[in-house]
Amino acid sequence: MGLAIARRLGQEKAKVVVSSRNMDNVNKAVETLKKENIEVVGVKCHISNPEERTNLIQEAVKHFGGIDILMINAGVNPYVGNMIDCPESAWDKAFDVNVKGPFLLTKEVIPLMKKRGGGSMLFMSTVAVYKDAVGLGLYASSKISLLRLTKHLAMELAQDNIRVNCVAPGAIDTTFISEVNRIN
Protein backbone atom coordinates (compact mmCIF):
# COMPACT_ATOMS: atom_id res chain seq x y z
CA MET A 1 0.00 0.00 0.00
CA GLY A 2 2.86 2.38 0.80
CA LEU A 3 4.35 2.00 -2.66
CA ALA A 4 0.99 2.76 -4.27
CA ILE A 5 0.62 5.90 -2.14
CA ALA A 6 4.15 7.07 -2.98
CA ARG A 7 3.52 6.40 -6.68
CA ARG A 8 0.30 8.41 -6.70
CA LEU A 9 1.89 11.35 -4.90
CA GLY A 10 4.79 11.25 -7.36
CA GLN A 11 2.41 11.18 -10.31
CA GLU A 12 0.98 14.42 -8.95
CA LYS A 13 4.55 15.83 -9.04
CA ALA A 14 5.19 15.58 -5.31
CA LYS A 15 8.79 15.00 -4.32
CA VAL A 16 8.63 11.80 -2.33
CA VAL A 17 10.57 10.34 0.59
CA VAL A 18 9.82 6.66 1.15
CA SER A 19 10.74 4.84 4.31
CA SER A 20 10.46 1.42 5.85
CA ARG A 21 12.02 -0.41 8.74
CA ASN A 22 13.53 -2.71 6.08
CA MET A 23 16.18 -1.11 3.85
CA ASP A 24 15.66 -3.72 1.11
CA ASN A 25 12.04 -2.55 0.83
CA VAL A 26 13.20 1.07 0.70
CA ASN A 27 15.69 0.32 -2.09
CA LYS A 28 13.13 -1.63 -4.13
CA ALA A 29 10.58 1.17 -3.81
CA VAL A 30 13.09 3.85 -4.80
CA GLU A 31 14.24 1.82 -7.81
CA THR A 32 10.65 1.21 -8.94
CA LEU A 33 9.60 4.85 -8.55
CA LYS A 34 12.70 6.25 -10.25
CA LYS A 35 11.94 4.07 -13.28
CA GLU A 36 8.58 5.88 -13.37
CA ASN A 37 10.34 9.28 -13.36
CA ILE A 38 9.26 10.09 -9.83
CA GLU A 39 11.59 12.29 -7.81
CA VAL A 40 12.23 10.11 -4.77
CA VAL A 41 14.72 9.35 -2.02
CA GLY A 42 14.59 6.49 0.45
CA VAL A 43 15.43 6.38 4.14
CA LYS A 44 15.39 3.47 6.58
CA CYS A 45 13.10 4.37 9.44
CA HIS A 46 11.42 2.27 12.08
CA ILE A 47 8.74 4.58 13.42
CA SER A 48 9.45 3.45 16.98
CA ASN A 49 13.10 4.51 16.77
CA PRO A 50 13.67 8.17 17.79
CA GLU A 51 16.99 8.54 15.94
CA GLU A 52 15.56 7.07 12.74
CA ARG A 53 12.51 9.36 12.92
CA THR A 54 14.75 12.40 13.29
CA ASN A 55 16.99 11.22 10.45
CA LEU A 56 13.95 10.72 8.20
CA ILE A 57 12.92 14.33 8.74
CA GLN A 58 16.46 15.63 8.26
CA GLU A 59 16.81 13.74 4.97
CA ALA A 60 13.49 15.10 3.69
CA VAL A 61 14.57 18.65 4.50
CA LYS A 62 18.06 18.11 3.05
CA HIS A 63 16.81 16.73 -0.26
CA PHE A 64 13.60 18.68 -0.76
CA GLY A 65 13.75 21.73 1.52
CA GLY A 66 10.88 20.82 3.82
CA ILE A 67 7.80 18.73 4.36
CA ASP A 68 4.40 19.73 2.98
CA ILE A 69 2.68 16.35 3.25
CA LEU A 70 3.27 13.73 5.92
CA MET A 71 1.70 10.37 5.11
CA ILE A 72 2.11 7.80 7.89
CA ASN A 73 1.31 4.29 6.74
CA ALA A 74 3.10 2.43 9.54
CA GLY A 75 1.20 -0.38 11.13
CA VAL A 76 1.67 -3.67 12.86
CA ASN A 77 -0.54 -6.37 14.28
CA PRO A 78 1.65 -8.51 16.51
CA TYR A 79 -1.20 -10.66 17.79
CA VAL A 80 -4.29 -12.29 16.32
CA GLY A 81 -6.56 -13.99 18.82
CA ASN A 82 -8.69 -13.44 21.90
CA MET A 83 -7.82 -10.22 23.68
CA ILE A 84 -7.79 -11.85 27.09
CA ASP A 85 -4.88 -14.06 25.95
CA CYS A 86 -2.87 -11.23 24.39
CA PRO A 87 0.58 -10.77 25.96
CA GLU A 88 1.69 -7.38 27.24
CA SER A 89 4.60 -7.34 24.79
CA ALA A 90 2.12 -7.41 21.89
CA TRP A 91 0.23 -4.45 23.41
CA ASP A 92 3.47 -2.51 23.73
CA LYS A 93 4.48 -3.22 20.13
CA ALA A 94 1.06 -2.41 18.66
CA PHE A 95 0.75 0.91 20.47
CA ASP A 96 4.40 1.87 19.91
CA VAL A 97 4.12 1.39 16.14
CA ASN A 98 0.48 2.28 15.51
CA VAL A 99 0.03 5.25 17.87
CA LYS A 100 3.09 6.48 19.76
CA GLY A 101 5.54 6.44 16.84
CA PRO A 102 3.18 8.28 14.49
CA PHE A 103 2.46 10.88 17.17
CA LEU A 104 6.14 11.48 17.90
CA LEU A 105 7.00 11.75 14.19
CA THR A 106 4.14 14.21 13.76
CA LYS A 107 5.32 16.22 16.75
CA GLU A 108 8.73 16.67 15.08
CA VAL A 109 7.21 17.68 11.73
CA ILE A 110 4.71 20.25 13.06
CA PRO A 111 7.27 23.07 13.58
CA LEU A 112 8.54 22.59 10.02
CA MET A 113 5.02 22.82 8.60
CA LYS A 114 4.26 25.89 10.69
CA LYS A 115 7.35 27.61 9.24
CA ARG A 116 6.11 26.80 5.72
CA GLY A 117 2.65 28.21 6.42
CA GLY A 118 0.87 24.88 6.77
CA GLY A 119 0.69 21.39 5.38
CA SER A 120 -1.21 18.13 5.37
CA MET A 121 -0.87 15.07 7.55
CA LEU A 122 -2.53 11.77 6.78
CA PHE A 123 -2.62 8.70 8.98
CA MET A 124 -3.55 5.22 7.79
CA SER A 125 -5.96 3.39 10.08
CA THR A 126 -8.24 0.46 9.23
CA VAL A 127 -11.87 -0.43 8.70
CA ALA A 128 -11.41 -2.67 11.77
CA VAL A 129 -12.10 0.41 13.91
CA TYR A 130 -15.69 0.34 12.58
CA LYS A 131 -16.26 -3.36 11.89
CA ASP A 132 -15.56 -5.91 14.59
CA ALA A 133 -13.76 -9.14 13.74
CA VAL A 134 -12.71 -11.97 16.01
CA GLY A 135 -8.99 -11.86 16.67
CA LEU A 136 -8.46 -8.19 15.83
CA GLY A 137 -9.13 -6.60 19.21
CA LEU A 138 -5.57 -5.42 19.80
CA TYR A 139 -5.11 -4.07 16.28
CA ALA A 140 -8.48 -2.30 16.28
CA SER A 141 -7.84 -0.83 19.74
CA SER A 142 -4.56 0.71 18.61
CA LYS A 143 -5.98 2.00 15.34
CA ILE A 144 -9.03 3.58 16.99
CA SER A 145 -6.54 5.41 19.22
CA LEU A 146 -4.86 6.68 16.05
CA LEU A 147 -8.23 7.92 14.81
CA ARG A 148 -8.83 9.83 18.06
CA LEU A 149 -5.29 11.25 17.89
CA THR A 150 -6.07 12.46 14.37
CA LYS A 151 -9.23 14.26 15.45
CA HIS A 152 -7.49 16.05 18.31
CA LEU A 153 -4.49 17.05 16.19
CA ALA A 154 -6.87 18.33 13.51
CA MET A 155 -8.58 20.61 16.02
CA GLU A 156 -5.30 21.85 17.50
CA LEU A 157 -3.49 22.43 14.21
CA ALA A 158 -6.28 23.93 12.08
CA GLN A 159 -5.30 27.44 13.23
CA ASP A 160 -1.82 26.81 11.77
CA ASN A 161 -3.22 25.78 8.37
CA ILE A 162 -2.18 22.16 8.99
CA ARG A 163 -4.82 19.69 7.88
CA VAL A 164 -4.85 16.31 9.67
CA ASN A 165 -6.89 13.37 8.40
CA CYS A 166 -7.12 9.63 8.85
CA VAL A 167 -8.05 7.04 6.22
CA ALA A 168 -9.59 3.69 7.21
CA PRO A 169 -9.31 1.37 4.19
CA GLY A 170 -10.92 -2.03 3.99
CA ALA A 171 -9.06 -5.30 3.87
CA ILE A 172 -6.04 -5.53 1.57
CA ASP A 173 -4.96 -9.00 0.41
CA THR A 174 -2.02 -9.72 2.72
CA THR A 175 -0.79 -12.58 4.91
CA PHE A 176 -2.32 -10.77 7.88
CA ILE A 177 -5.77 -10.73 6.26
CA SER A 178 -5.45 -14.40 5.30
CA GLU A 179 -4.89 -15.24 8.98
CA VAL A 180 -7.87 -13.13 10.06
CA ASN A 181 -10.09 -14.80 7.47
CA ARG A 182 -8.94 -18.22 8.66
CA ILE A 183 -9.97 -17.38 12.24
CA ASN A 184 -13.30 -15.85 11.25
Per-residue CA distances from 5 to 94, 102, 137, 155 (Å): 22, 17, 27, 25
Question: What pLDDT does residue 150 have?
Answer: 98
| 3-class SS of residue 14 | coil
Question: Annotated active-site positions, please?
Answer: 139
pLDDT tens-digit readout, 101-156: 999 999 999 999 999 999 999 999 998 888 888 899 999 999 999 999 999 999 99
The amino acid occupying position 171 is A
For residue 89, name the pLDDT band (cuts at 50, 70, 90).
Answer: very high
Which residue segments constitute the domains of the chain, with CATH numbers given? 69-183 (3.40.50.720)
Secondary structure letter of residue 32 according to DSSP:
H
Nearest one of 77, 164, 174, 89 to 128, comparing CA atoms: 77
Q: Which of 1-15, 122-136, 159-173 has the highest mean pLDDT?
A: 1-15
Strand partners, 119: 162
- Residues with Cβ within 8 Å of 181's Cβ and at least 6 positions away in sequence, in order, are none
For residue 160, name the pLDDT band (cuts at 50, 70, 90).
Answer: very high
Enter the pTM of the model.
0.90
**Residues 49-59: what's their mean pLDDT?**
98
